[in-house]
């Protein structure tokens, strides 16, 4: 792998629209170099026979069945509301139309 230069880091910073000082550029050369070496090490891992996955652990979506149950009537739910409109709570607008 080619060594990362200060010009490479400056170019990447420009692409990302990040303004780095000279000291930050010098520091980032070393830090990005370590990251690239780590990625290269991981890429050398044997992956034959390994199934691609999105998570290291199986994920199960825990949900309850959608069952209709008794609940408050709209009139009861809105009984203590300061204002209501069309069987809904009426609240003051906090955002403009823009």
- Domain residues of the chain, as ranges? 6-43
pLDDT in tens, 40-75: 999 999 989 988 888 888 888 888 889 999 999 988
Is the domain 6-43 a CATH 1.10.20 member?
yes
Burial of 84 (C-beta count, 10 Å sphere; 0-12/13-18/19+): middle
Say whether pLDDT at 93 is over 80.
yes
Q: What is the C-alpha end-to-end distance of the chain, expressed in Å? A: 51
The pLDDT of residue 94 is: 87
pLDDT in tens, 5-53: 999 999 999 999 999 999 999 999 999 999 999 999 999 999 899 888 8
């Amino acid at each position: 792998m080619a060594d990362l230069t200060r010009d490479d880091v400056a170019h990447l910073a420009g692409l990302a629209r990040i303004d780095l000082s000279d000291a930050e550029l010098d520091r980032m050369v070393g830090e990005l170099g370590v990251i690239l070496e780590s990625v290269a090490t991981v890429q050398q891992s044997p992956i034959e026979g390994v199934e691609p996955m999105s998570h290291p652990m199986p994920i199960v979506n825990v949900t309850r069945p959608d069952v209709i149950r008794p609940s408050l009537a709209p009139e009861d739910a809105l009984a203590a509301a300061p204002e209501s409109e069309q069987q809904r709570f009426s609240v003051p607008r906090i955002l403009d139309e823009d």
